[in-house]
Amino acid sequence: VQLQASGGGLVQAGGSLRLSCVASGATLSNNVIGWYRQAPGKQRELVADINNGGTTTYADSVKGRFTISEDNAKRQVYLQMNNLKPEDTAVYYCNYRGRNLFLTEEYEYWGLGTQVTVSS
């Protein structure tokens, strides 16, 4: 599995960005795809994810501002980020995890990060 992320950049506070991640390769069972971020000196944290049933999870800090969605046919996941704040500045990573066909093994994959910088 390979994950290709794009859409990062520099934006002023209050602005918007849209991140995209395209998955290629094997499709996992019971899969979840989403976004994590890591700011300098901090641990990587979940931003938002969506499972193969369409259930979404958001970090409290982004609820109401970020929206995750997916296009299953294109195997793409999007993160629409509105009302961005300086504290959203981080490297954002696409993450894909799930199990093999027989649900006996777990797999997790990471894409290369994309930088999001929000200026005040």
**Model confidence at 91: pLDDT above 90:** yes
Query: For residue 1, what are its two tokens?
Result: 């599995």
pLDDT at 72 over 90: no
**What mean pLDDT is predicted for residues 60-86?**
95
With a CB cutoff of 8 Å and minimum separation 6, the contacts of 111 are 2, 3, 4, 5, 21, 93, 94, 95
pLDDT of residue 99: 92
Question: pLDDT by residue (tens digit) across 11-65?
Answer: 999 999 999 999 999 899 889 999 999 999 999 999 999 999 999 999 999 999 9
